[in-house]
Structure 1
Amino acid sequence: MKPVLNVEEVLRLEDLIEKEGTSKAALMEHAGEFAADRVYEFAPKHVVVLCGFGNNGGDGWVAADILSHKGVTVDVVTPIEPNEIKSPIARHVARRTAGRDVRVVVGPSRDELTAILSKADVVLDAILGTGFSGSVRAPFSIWIPALNELGLTVVSIDVPSGLNAETGVVDSVCVEAMATVTLLAPKIGLYSGEGPEVAGEISCGELYDRLDEVIDDVEHAAEIIEPADLVEYIPDLPANVNKYSRGSVLVVAGSATYPGAAILAAKAAARAGAGYVTVAAPEPCANLIRMALPCVPVVGIPSDSRGAFGAAASSPVRELAKKFDCVLCGPGMTVTAGGMQVVTDLLRTEVPLVLDADALNCMSRLAIGGIEETPEVYRREAPLILTPHNRELSRLVGDARVDDLSSAIDAAQKLVWAAGSDNLIVIAKGPSTAIVGVEKVLLPMSGPASLATAGSGDVLAGIIAANVAVSHGEVDRWELLCAYAVAVHSYTGYAAAAAMGERSVIATDLVDVLGDAMHLVESEALKDAGIELGE
């Protein structure tokens, strides 16, 4: 796993490294060298370096010096003379570089800047760094649009200028990079908000040869899951299993309005490896689900007048749940008094539980001001996995703002920390998904835009439930099991897009390629871990 840090954590890390004997000036030299090496990979003949006022600009000045020594023609564009830079470290390297074989352009007009940029093979963005927040001011509010309009190859240092490194928010303008060289550790803003849209390919320069010894001495905003981390969570399939020992899943879902959600979740659970899947659905939609899933038993449950779970639904669902290794509740069930009672009673059982979609909306109705204010509602000994998207997560925490990765992580941590259970996991779904446990926040591989289709979340819920059931509770870290399930779901998006076209994928396509996706995840994980297939 690779640590992802917020701005405060980066500052603490730099201070620790300095105490260990490596100065911030030395780190700037290493940063500039790493940025120059990344730019040089594009084999440029002419590079323009856009430098700001601070240490991010200092990194750019160092990179410009190194590139010029490699025989590259380099223009450095700066808003002020090198002698006027306030940061002592940045001023030193700027003065040093300006006295060497680079051309320095101070405070160009927009037309002059456009003419300079137009000659470049690559532009190195060293304007604004991790300390930036708010709106971009002149002259950079003029530089950045001029740069973006030319559509050049751009490499940004640490974060694209204009991006908030903490939140991923762009208040005004932001550099649209082809690549970002982030330093010491990736910044959380690169994965939140507009970060994934503007950062391009991210590479990380560790800069310090003993980084592994000190990075765990600071908190991590999150950790990126690498394929090798998932190896031990790839399910085995011994020769002596039967349909029950493979893992059993009860899907409590559906309504007369949304029977398809139950169908998708159940079929995904079966495709993802559960040996025995049963659906408990309101009686009015049970026959339709039976016809769609001939290999899955369907139990009709008492309904209300609208074809949703009724007042008498809770008791039979609760009794059924005791027979299964995992229960998935929520897809398509709608929010009713009967549904709320079903969710409440399932939370009181001892079976591992995955709550998705309307089960989460039922939960949010159980407490005023956010369920974290009454954690006894959802605190339990058995594993509990919640899978909200941003709007559902917002409702769970009393309609607080949840609209990007950072705010989703904050909201999920409120729920997890209030309950205080190692067995509670919140999978905060979005363009970048976070898996939040009581101690760790994990960032699994994100899927393509093709996953943004109705029913995709039902498929993910089925995949998660299947893996919980197959594990039979023998799991050291539930967040890593969830990371495996999310990775499989992401790969279904890629596989389905390859077959159908990115714009044409629908949720049933995801289920159809689940076998391929699991094979791809397994192959990638074993390769990353240095294990040959079949070992």
Structure 2
Amino acid sequence: MQPVLNVEDVKRVESGLTEVGVSISELMHRAGTAAANEVMRTDDVSSVTVFCGLGNNGGDGWVAAESLRKRDIDVTVVTPVAPDDIQGDLARVVAKSAQSAGVKMLVAPPKGRVEELLLSTDVVVDAMLGTGFHGDPRAPFDIWIECINASGATVIAVDVPSGLSAQTGLASSRCVIADMTVTMLVLKPGLLADMGRDACGTIVVAPLAEQTERLVLEADPVAWRADLEDYVDVLAPPSNAVDKFTRGSVLVVGGSLRFPGAPLLAAQAAARSGAGYVTLAVPEPVAPILQSQMPEIPVMGLPSDPDGTFSAEAADIVAELALKRTATLVGPGMRVSGGTVGVVSKLISSEVPLVIDADGLNCLARLTSNKLDDFPELLRRNEPLILTPHRRELGRLVGQQEVPPASLTAAMEAARRIVWTDGGSEITVVAKGSATACVSVDAAVLPKPGPAALATAGSGDVLGGVVAAFLARSNVGNDDLPVLSALACEVHGYAGSIAAERFGSHGVMARDIIDALGLAEDALEEQIAFPESTDMD
């Protein structure tokens, strides 16, 4: 897994490197050289324009420019002030060194001159605003960002695209849209989520020093970016020695007369994700609607209230059914009522592996008055519990319903409030968003995010079914729940990519994702190197 550090914690790594003899000056030279190396890997590059700011990020740019000049690249630096006028001592020294090496420069050029220069530029290096930036880019950087984005040149950002928050992945106004981001030392959360997904392009991590890995681990990563090989221990090797009983069984509990389709999507997703047996429990008036649509999946009608939601009498029946299954998913389309809150409460108190999604989460919020983190006794159990909220649902759970988490880091903070209240390894919160974090008491695992095609009604119900199926199929311990959840998210995301290829990025519906789930898991398994089994004597 690749560690991810908050921006503030990156400073601790930099300080640690200076303590072991790697000076800030040396780090700047290594960072600029790393950026220059990536420029040289670009096809057919002969002319480069480097946009430099006034701080250390700009210093990296000056070093990159000098390195490129020494490799016979036609390079020009665009700078707001002349090297002698740069206030930072280190940035001023490297700027004057580049000037002495023959690097051409434009000092505070008008917009028209910048546009003219970019017409003959193959690669742009963005070294204007670094990881410490926040707020709105000011002149001239806002103008330069506009020119860069309109240029059509290949853009390589140093550490973070200018204008983007490396911490939140948000930009208050415009930011550079890069083809590649060469980020120094370690991944930062803002590069992986929200606007960062569009702005960063391919991300290359330049560690800069051999001591970096140790210092990053000591800085306590806020999250870990999962690689495919990390799933080996939670994904059983392919085998023909299985039957429907050994592949796990899933109970899906949900639905209402208003939303009959949500549990249908979840149940179909669980079946497409390899669960050997899936049962659907819905309010009695909903059962006839669904029975004819799913011949492979038994549909059970349970006691209901006049509004077509579960009644209080359904809770005990649901709990009894759950005891006979290896995993239960509760919530899709069930609405929030006295009866549905009772169903969720009964399932939480039952010792069954449980996934809570959608209205199941809203029932939890109702049950705890939007303060789930104040009710640790409600969540403590021995069997696995996986919550799958999107950011608005997560906000309701922790009292942030008016201003829900707006970034990956804010979502992780809210999820940690829940898991740390519980304090046990049996709970994982899958905080869904443009980048998803699978948060447990020990770690937050970031699966590779899926395409924008997943942003469609019912996609979350599908993911709930996938998570439940993987939980039912697995024999992993509670410590592996965030990795297992991350794998389910990756399969869901890959299925979204397959569906987008079939129907276009704007034409995908939830059922299209379901149909691609099996193909997605097969494709991921082909890329994972399973340990060879040992022959028995």
1:484 corresponding residue in structure 2: 487
Q: 1:269/1:395 Cα in 2 relative to 1: closer, same or farther (>3 Å)?
A: same
Q: Contact between 1:255 and 1:333, CA under 8 Å: does it hold in 2?
A: yes
Mapped partners of 1:92, 1:532: distance in 2: 56
Q: CA deviation at 1:197?
A: 1.5
Q: CA deviation at 1:471?
A: 1.4
1:16 corresponding residue in structure 2: 16
Q: 1:240/1:107 Cα in 2 relative to 1: closer, same or farther (>3 Å)?
A: closer
1:446 corresponding residue in structure 2: 449
Runs of 4+ displaced beyond 3 Å = 236-242, 472-476, 531-535
Mapped partners of 1:158, 1:474: distance in 2: 37
Q: Contact between 2:274 and 2:518, CA under 8 Å: does it hold in 1?
A: no
2:473 corresponding residue in structure 1: 470
1:402 corresponding residue in structure 2: 405
Aligned length: 532
1:52 corresponding residue in structure 2: 53
Q: Which amino acid aligns with 1:136?
A: P
Q: CA deviation at 1:173?
A: 2.2
Mapped partners of 2:173, 2:297: distance in 1: 53
1:40 corresponding residue in structure 2: 40
Q: Which amino acid aligns with 2:261?
A: G
Q: Which amino acid aligns with 1:38?
A: E
Secondary structure of the residue aligned to 2:341 is helix
Following superposition of structure 1 onto structure 2, how do residues 340-355 of structure 1 map, counting pairs within 5 Å? 340-355=341-356
Q: Contact between 1:523 and 1:533, CA under 8 Å: does it hold in 2?
A: no
Secondary structure of the residue aligned to 1:113 is helix
Deviation readout 1:18-75 (Å, 9 max, x if unpaired) = 1111111111111111100111222311111110001000100010011111111111
Unaligned runs of 5+ in 2: none
Q: Please say if 1:246 is aligned against 2:247.
A: yes
Mapped partners of 2:217, 2:112: distance in 1: 48
Q: Which amino acid aligns with 1:44?
A: V
Q: 1:532/1:24 Cα in 2 relative to 1: closer, same or farther (>3 Å)?
A: farther
Mapped partners of 2:274, 2:144: distance in 1: 54
Mapped partners of 2:532, 2:358: distance in 1: 39
Q: Which amino acid aligns with 2:258?
A: T
2:498 corresponding residue in structure 1: 495
Following superposition of structure 1 onto structure 2, how do residues 283-432 of structure 1 map, counting pairs within 5 Å? 283-398=284-399, 399=401, 400-432=403-435
Mapped partners of 1:287, 1:271: distance in 2: 22
Deviation readout 1:162-215 (Å, 9 max, x if unpaired) = 111111121122111111111111111112331112111111111112322322
Q: Contact between 1:162 and 1:172, CA under 8 Å: does it hold in 2?
A: yes
Q: 1:195/1:338 Cα in 2 relative to 1: closer, same or farther (>3 Å)?
A: same
Q: CA deviation at 1:396?
A: 0.8
Mapped partners of 2:475, 2:231: distance in 1: 17
Unaligned runs of 5+ in 1: none
1:182 corresponding residue in structure 2: 183
Deviation readout 1:489-508 (Å, 9 max, x if unpaired) = 01101111122222221111
1:65 corresponding residue in structure 2: 66
Mapped partners of 2:328, 2:146: distance in 1: 52
Q: CA deviation at 1:381?
A: 2.2
The alignment-based identity, stated in percent, is 46
Secondary structure of the residue aligned to 1:477 is helix
Deviation readout 1:88-121 (Å, 9 max, x if unpaired) = 2211111111111211221112222222222211
Q: 1:172/1:238 Cα in 2 relative to 1: closer, same or farther (>3 Å)?
A: closer
Q: Contact between 2:330 and 2:356, CA under 8 Å: does it hold in 1?
A: yes
Secondary structure of the residue aligned to 1:469 is helix
Secondary structure of the residue aligned to 2:367 is coil
Q: CA deviation at 1:144?
A: 1.5
1:509 corresponding residue in structure 2: 512
Mapped partners of 2:136, 2:404: distance in 1: 21
2:458 corresponding residue in structure 1: 455
Following superposition of structure 1 onto structure 2, how do residues 193-232 of structure 1 map, counting pairs within 5 Å? 193-232=194-233
TM-score (norm 1): 0.96
